[in-house]
Structure 1
Amino acid sequence: MKNIKFYIPILLITLVWVNDSLGQGCVAIRQFSGIGNAVGQGNILEKGEWNISVNYRYFKSFRHFRGTHEEPDRIANNTEVINWTHGMDINISYALSERTFLLASIPFAYNERSSLYEHGRTSRHMTYSGGMTDIILGGGYWIFSGERSPKGNVALGGGIKLPTGNYRSTSTFYNVGSEGQSEVRPVDQSIQLGDGGFGFVLNTQGIWNFGKSTFLYYDGFYLFNPRNTNGVQTFRRRASEAVMSVPDQYALRSGIFKPVGSGHGLGLSLGGRLEGIPVRDILGQSEGFRRPGYIVSVEPGASYMLGDLTIGVNVPIALIRNRTRSLTDKIESTPDNYVHGDAAFADYLINLNLAWRITRKAETPFNTF
């Protein structure tokens, strides 16, 4: 286990971005880090130690897809929808033992959305949202002890998602009233700060050492959202999409990590990433409006460790973007009218992370005189 323990701090700072996340466009992937963040951080801690990390994310979504087919005319005609999203997660983990840990993920977001169709289709305007999103509390367990896992380890984690984010965020919409006046309405689902549902997350993460200093990693989670709809109006034309759905979410990542040089310091990674919103939830009903779909990305990354501080960056670059058909698309379809909604996606996502390990102070021997 010596080889793995030596490189784990810089390896896992490269792995912490599950959501992360958070979403890459109108497919409203929630902006939380997932259990995988703190699972990874928990692995480098000894009993009684803490780890605090701050993760920043940014993306701009503007390319419209219907299925896997891009619609470039939206940009050419200036009808595209543009989302700018800034997210920040504060993640805190505490090691109860070498293998068991607790965690909390406290996320925040600021979003801007520019569109034409939401403002009477006469002129382009902006809507906004900002504040705390949905918190996750949980824990996890590494299956093998250090003595029994010389080549790798696997962690299982779980937690609850609390509806702390404002899922009724509003902004001003122009040219939408009966006489063309502006109105204050709920913002689009893609920039809502929460979904209004209690959920629970299951996560697994693994690390495997092959060769002298090369590592294979994987990290995946599934968010179960049993609530059906949250009652927030969408003001969409279809009756079946009058209120917002509370969808499940998933992500899976895997790749190779390679330290550069000897000892603590620089590490590079290259992997793949899948994240998305399913058409149907595993538990409960799936009514209301949602934009299901998924993104497949290649994910290069780099990290550097200096003492108890580690900084990292990774940039998932989209390879496949698929806005799948929703249940409401199927409901509204007829033999003469095939319905398949679209969604805007980003080209890439920027993640920056800073982590601080708080070690236990050495006990001072008691001296008698």
Structure 2
Amino acid sequence: MLGTALFLWQQSVKAQGCVAIRSTGTVCMKPQAEMEKGWQMNMSYRYFRSFRHFVGTEEQKERLEKHTEVINWQHTLDLSLVRTLNNRWSLAVNVPVLANTRSSLYEHGGNNSKSPDARQKTHSFGIGDIRFAVYRWLLNPARSTKGNIQAGLGLKLPTGDYRFQDYFVKNDSTKILGPVDQSIQLGDGGTGFTTELNGYYNFSKRFSVYGSFYYLFNPREQNGVSTARGGTVSASAIQYGTAVMSVPDQYMVRLGANYSMEHLTVSAGLRRECVPAKDLIGGSSGFRRPGYVVSVEPGLSYRFEHLALFATVPVALKRDRTQSYADKLQTQATGVYRQGDAAFADYSVNIGMSFHF
């Protein structure tokens, strides 16, 4: 019973380093499509530390050597409630709570500063963007006992503070209050809608495969929040449309397999999380760091009668900070190829529980 419902809370508001990827898969247990009516409460925690800078797929190792790297720490608690109406229809709501910290030189004293206090931190804490979703198994669970496909449609509300501010320390006597970096904002400022497909197939009682696809459409082009961190917007940022933050689309794909031994399930898979350079609906101007992460995702889950526990540790195989819409505009205008950088994590840690009542 619990395995199927875990499909319903795979996507939640998160980030992956400086690339503000706000969707992730937490766990995918071997599911049973025969669900009882009732409620299910889910809690999951995610942690990562991003610090490796990439331009395209090439790591900028000199950033670590010169100690100019940007470091993001993120702690996320996702609270989800699922209401199963019958064996085909379910409703879900997801409320994320985020605690972010960002350490850098360039936002404060500057990368070239010799002061021991040049590196400073900014923070953000609060509720992120809440999402409501409805799900339906496309095949009749009573007949499709080996496998099934679940479709989902959702609404993401801009409940997270996308204008969150903190102080940027310029020197011993000067602090400037301004919006924190896009990567640690609590929301993106857009009302979006989500589409999902989740599927599984049981080859035997022990072995099964799973797959899921999630896409967040964000029609709003920009949220109006300055990228100048409390300072003056540069002429270049105005010219190429990066003076304010964009509201980007994002998507995730997961594929993998499960092996079950009584109450214990071992899983292994691949997943790709991405912020595209261009949105499918609406414009694409504004500041964003597009890119993607391909990870291998091992996991464990243990199921009791009404309770399931899980842990997954996605480990990055490939990180790519792709060319943004603004980068392309600047390249076209100047004739000089432009591509920005972004920091990525080596891995993330996900742990959680699911309780049916």
TM above 0.5, yes or no, is yes
3-state DSSP of counterpart to 1:331: helix
Q: Which residue in the other structure is 1:24 paired with? A: 16
Is 1:46 the counterpart of 2:36 in the alignment?
Answer: yes
Aligned residues with identical type, % of pairs: 45
Q: Which residue in the other structure is 1:354 paired with? A: 353
Contact 2:3 2:31 in 1 (8 A): no
Identify which of 82, 88, 91 aligns with 1:99.
88
Q: What are the Cα deviations for residues 165-206 of structure 1, in whole angstroms up to 9, with x where unaligned?
A: 000000000118xx9721100000000000111000000100
Distance in structure 2 (CA, Å) of the matches to 1:17 and 1:68:
30
3-state DSSP of counterpart to 1:329: helix
Contact 1:64 1:80 in 2 (8 A): yes
Q: Which residue in the other structure is 1:190 paired with? A: 183
Distance in structure 2 (CA, Å) of the matches to 1:330 and 1:271:
34
TM-score calculated relative to the size of structure 1: 0.87
Contact 1:42 1:94 in 2 (8 A): no
Q: Which residue in the other structure is 2:63 paired with? A: 74
Distance in structure 1 (CA, Å) of the matches to 2:213 and 2:206:
23
Is 1:154 the counterpart of 2:155 in the alignment?
Answer: no
Contact 2:195 2:215 in 1 (8 A): yes
Q: What are the Cα deviations for residues 345-365 of structure 1, in whole angstroms up to 9, with x where unaligned?
A: 00001001111001xxxxxxx
Distance in structure 2 (CA, Å) of the matches to 1:38 and 1:137:
20
Contact 2:4 2:32 in 1 (8 A): no
Is 1:135 the counterpart of 2:133 in the alignment?
Answer: no
Q: Which residue in the other structure is 2:317 paired with? A: 319
Contact 1:42 1:51 in 2 (8 A): no
The equivalences for 1:225-236 within 5 A come to 225-235=218-228
Q: Which residue in the other structure is 1:345 paired with? A: 344
Tell me which structure has the larger Cα radius of gyration: 1
Cα 1:315–1:83, aligned 2, differ >3 Å: closer, same or farther? same
Cα 1:330–1:54, aligned 2, differ >3 Å: closer, same or farther? same
Is 1:211 the counterpart of 2:210 in the alignment?
Answer: no
- Moved runs in structure 1, 4+ residues, more than 6 A? 36-42
Distance in structure 2 (CA, Å) of the matches to 1:336 and 1:284:
27
Cα 1:317–1:113, aligned 2, differ >3 Å: closer, same or farther? same
Cα 1:42–1:149, aligned 2, differ >3 Å: closer, same or farther? closer
Q: Which residue in the other structure is 1:83 paired with? A: 72
Root mean square deviation of aligned Cα: 2.3
Distance in structure 1 (CA, Å) of the matches to 2:5 and 2:56:
34
Q: What are the Cα deviations for residues 83-104 of structure 1, in whole angstroms up to 9, with x where unaligned?
A: 0000011010101111001110
The equivalences for 1:274-293 within 5 A come to 274-293=272-291
Distance in structure 2 (CA, Å) of the matches to 1:10 and 1:218:
14
Distance in structure 1 (CA, Å) of the matches to 2:28 and 2:153:
11
Offset at 1:211?
Answer: 3.2
Distance in structure 1 (CA, Å) of the matches to 2:15 and 2:33:
26
Q: Which residue in the other structure is 1:251 paired with? A: 252
Q: Which residue in the other structure is 1:304 paired with? A: 302
Offset at 1:20?
Answer: 4.7
The equivalences for 1:99-118 within 5 A come to 99-118=88-107
Cα 1:270–1:295, aligned 2, differ >3 Å: closer, same or farther? same
Name the count of aligned residue pairs: 342
Q: Which residue in the other structure is 1:199 paired with? A: 192
Contact 1:269 1:301 in 2 (8 A): yes
Contact 2:71 2:104 in 1 (8 A): yes
Distance in structure 2 (CA, Å) of the matches to 1:266 and 1:38:
13
Contact 1:199 1:225 in 2 (8 A): yes
Contact 1:228 1:245 in 2 (8 A): yes
Amino acid at match of 1:354: M
Out of 333-342 and 163-172, give the one that drifted further: 333-342
Is 1:145 the counterpart of 2:109 in the alignment?
Answer: no
3-state DSSP of counterpart to 2:142: helix
